[in-house]
Chains A and B, each alone.
Chain A
Amino acid sequence: MVFAKRSTKDLIIGKTPFFAVLAGLTLLPLLGVGGYWLDVLTKVNLFLLVTLAIDLYSGTTYYLNLGVSFTFGFAGYALALLNIYYGIPIEYSIFLAVPISVFFSLVILLPSLRIRGVYFAILSLLIPIVFIGIVTAQPFSLYLGGEGGLRYKQLFLDFARSLPPGIRLTFLQYSYYYISLVAAVIGYLIAYKIGFSEFGFMLRAVGQDEELAESVGINTLKVKVIGYLISSMYVSVAGALYASMRSPVTVDLVVPANTLVPPLTSAIVGGLGTIIGPAIANYMLLLTYESLWGLIGRWRVIVYMLLLITIVVIKPQGLVFRIYLDLKKRLRGVLLE
């Protein structure tokens, strides 16, 4: 009726960047990218899930869920505990850790779903801090590993040991990388579907005027809870996979500066609620951050902080998304000529 269907040509052009990036990421290891950079890319792939989680929930509803780092770390700890105390192999622990982490995230944050703005932010920021306190304090530290963390046999380690010594590490790196890539691609496609579905628009309605949304018949509490569940699921998958690929898990995973600030920055700079913008920003910003390591070593933390402060000052919200749209328009111009 009202809206013209997009032409096939349009659709192909629309998907070109996606397939180009996907092809690039798939072929990288075959082109000789390995070692350190493959590890970095694995991490960035998994962080994409966190960036998307923030974009799907906070980017649409404007409820700032800073408890993301709690969920990320909690999933890691759940995975380790299941493996260590219940002897469940890591492969299966991943699947069990996700619902456990989602459940706890929901129970802990549910009361706060009615609180908006700065109070919600403070509350959700407190949770990881409390968690860190618990993990490092007696007597819990005896079971939770304290500062040193929890050690366990990471994913595929037994199998890798059956391989010739020369290719063990490479095998682990490649398999972790492709697992993270598959998770990232599936996560992206689903996030895109949800973000622009009717449910995604309901999340946006809540963000734009919650009282109005409720007044026109939208069950805002239900929408928020489901949105929060989906978001926690993304973060939990990321946290569990991340932990499964590196032992030990430590409280580092819960520290907001490590697992909240980078994806949150990507979501904001990328363009809240646009899905694609934050996804691109995720790769750009995190890879930039890692490159700084090689260039300036430990100084990168300071440079990164300066970058963040600049971002806060000049507020380039949605910068990446705007550049992306512009480039796409040009690409279309070139292809349609």
Chain B
Amino acid sequence: MSEILKCEEITKRFGGLTALNKVSFNVVKGEIFGIIGPNGSGKTTLLNVITGLLKPDGGRIMLDGTDITKLEPHKRVKLGIARMFQGMRVFPYLPVYLNVELVARAVYNNARLARAKTSWALTMSGLLPEAAELPIKLTPYKLRMLEFARILVSNPKIALLDEPFAGLESSEAESMIDLIKKFNSLGITFIIIEHRLRYLMKIANRVMVLNQGVKIAEGKPEEVVKNPQVIEVYFGGETRK
């Protein structure tokens, strides 16, 4: 098994609050790795540390054998980390195609290739008809697709999705799952954060559980949900389906 991402003893404090406390985990090339935990348990903070928006107070991050702990965020994108933010996050006053093409230009430094990749990513995510529109005109689902196109266009090794199903109808969530599966089979490794377990159970190969900044469990989804400690903190003692 080869690890694409290794996080070693990541610690992040905000003043007196320890948002992440010596969190260690490895993500294996080609897998879909789920991170679950109640609100405020540190999931988004962990993604911020991995993408470089936050500097950790301790620990080390290795991407495909390279230490990226101190690297600026934009350089991590070029090394193969892509991200979907919690809530929809796009450039609201740039047309859809530019939202994607700017990413391509940053990654490829070649206008022609960037344009070709942009068309391809827009096609894959079904956004070609809306390419010239402003994102304000898009539905929540299409906005998610725009974020997905942005991920695809950078040709990442690993994609980090922060609650990608939030705000979607269940049929839309299903299409999202299909897309994730498709690009996972084409070689992209995924980390998916979700605090509702339903969707994650379907696609994650392994999940890690965070509670108050501490990793309390890791393993196959069906095993993790049976873990008494997880049931205690996550479901507040009562089991949900």
Which residues of A pack against B, CB within 8 Å? Answer: 1-3, 198, 201-202, 204-205, 208-209, 211-220
Given contacts A204-B93, A208-B92, A211-B53, contact A216 B106 (CB under 8 A): yes
Q: Which residues of A contact B122 (CB under 8 A)?
A: 2
Q: Which of B85, B102, B150 contacts A201 (CB 8 A)?
A: B102
Those of B141-199 within 8 Å (CB) of chain A: 150, 154
Are A214's CB and B74's CB within 8 A?
Answer: yes
- Nearest Cβ distance between residue A23 and chain B, in whole angstroms? 33
Are A219 and B106 interface neighbours, CB within 8 A? yes
Residues A3 and B132 in contact in the complex (CB < 8 Å), given A208-B91, A217-B154: yes
In Å, the complex CA distance between A217 and B105 comes to 9
**In the complex, which residue of chain B has the Cβ closest to the Cβ of A222?**
B74
A208 touching B94, Cβ below 8 Å: yes
Q: How far is the CB of B137 from chain A (nearest CB, A)?
A: 15
Q: Which residues of A contact B72 (CB under 8 A)?
A: 214, 219
Q: A1-B119, A214-B74 are in contact. Are A204 and B106 (CB under 8 A)?
A: no
Query: Could you say which residues of chain A place their CB within 8 Å of the CB of B101?
Result: 198
Least CB distance, A216 to chain B, in whole angstroms? 5
Which residues of chain A are within 8 angstroms of B77 by Cβ–Cβ distance? 215-217
Of B78, B82, B89, B154, the contact of A212 (CB 8 Å cutoff)? B89
A-side contacts of B207, CB under 8 Å: none
The residue that A2 contacts in the complex, of B91, B97, B103, B106, with Cβ under 8 A, is B97
- The complex places the Cα of A216 from the Cα of B73 at a distance, in Å, of 8
What is the chain B residue whose CB lies nearest that of A209?
B91
Q: In the bound complex, do residue B91 and residue A214 qualify as a contact, i.e. CB atoms below 8 Å apart?
A: no
CB pair B105–A198 under 8 Å, yes or no, is yes
- Contact A216–B102 (Cβ < 8 Å): yes
Please tell me if the beta carbons of A215 and B73 are within 8 angstroms of each other in the complex.
Answer: yes
Question: Which residues of B have CB within 8 Å of A2?
Answer: 97, 119, 122, 128, 131-132
Question: Once the chains bind, are A212 and B102 in contact (CB under 8 Å)?
Answer: no
Q: A1-B119, A2-B132, A3-B132 are in contact. Are A217 and B94 (CB under 8 A)?
A: no
Q: Given contacts A208-B92, A209-B91, are A219 and B74 in contact (CB under 8 A)?
A: yes
When A and B form their complex, which 8 residue pairs have the shortest distance between CB atoms, in order from nearest?
Answer: A217-B77, A217-B106, A2-B131, A216-B103, A208-B91, A214-B73, A219-B74, A217-B74
Interface range for B: 20 to 34
Complex Cα–Cα for A205 and B94 (A):
8
Is B98 interfacial (CB 8 A cutoff)? yes
B98 contact set on A, CB distance < 8 A:
201
Report the separation of the CA atoms of residues A209 and B103 in the bound assembly, to the nearest whole angstrom. Answer: 14
Contact: A204 with B53, CB < 8 Å? no
CA distance A217 to B76 in the complex (A): 8
Chain B residues near A202: list those with CB within 8 A.
Answer: 102
Chain B proximity of A6: nearest CB distance (Å): 13
Q: Give B133 Cβ to nearest chain A Cβ, in Å.
A: 11
Contact indicator A209/B102 (Cβ below 8 Å): no
Contact B51 A216 (CB under 8 A): no
B43 on the interface (CB 8 Å rule)?
no
Report Cα–Cα, A1/B82, bound state, in Å. Answer: 26
Which residue of chain B has the shortest Cβ distance to A202 in the bound complex?
Answer: B102
Residue among B77, B91, B94, B119 with the highest chain A CB neighbour number at 10 A = B91
Distance, CA A239 to CA B150, complexed state (A):
42
How many angstroms between the C-alpha atoms of A3 and B130 in the bound complex? Answer: 11
Cα of A1 to Cα of B119 in the assembled complex, Å: 8
In the bound complex, CA of A113 to CA of B77 (Å): 22
Docked complex Cα distance between A306 and B45 (Å): 49
Within 8 Å by CB of B93, from A208, A214, A215, lies: A208
Contacts of A3 in B (CB 8 A): 97, 131-132
Task: Tell me if B107 counts as interface (CB < 8 A to partner A).
Answer: yes
Q: Are A217 and B103 in contact (CB under 8 A)?
A: yes
Complex partner residue of B91 from A1, A198, A205, CB under 8 angstroms:
A205
> Given that A201-B98, A204-B93 are known contacts, is A217 also in contact with B107, CB under 8 Å in the complex?
yes
CB<8 Å pairs between A and B, sample of 21: A2-B97, A2-B122, A3-B131, A198-B101, A201-B102, A204-B93, A204-B94, A205-B91, A212-B85, A214-B72, A215-B53, A215-B74, A215-B83, A215-B85, A216-B103, A216-B106, A217-B74, A217-B77, A217-B78, A218-B103, A219-B74
Residues of B within 8 A of A216 (CB): 74, 77, 82, 102-103, 106, 150, 154
- Cβ contact of B102, chosen from A1, A205, A211, cutoff 8 A: A205
* Residues of chain B within 8 A of A218, CB atoms compared: 74, 102-103, 106
Are B102 and A198 in contact (CB-based, < 8 A)? Answer: yes
- Chain B residues with CB below 8 A from A213, complex form: 91, 102
Q: What residue in chain B is nearest A212 (Cβ atoms)? A: B89
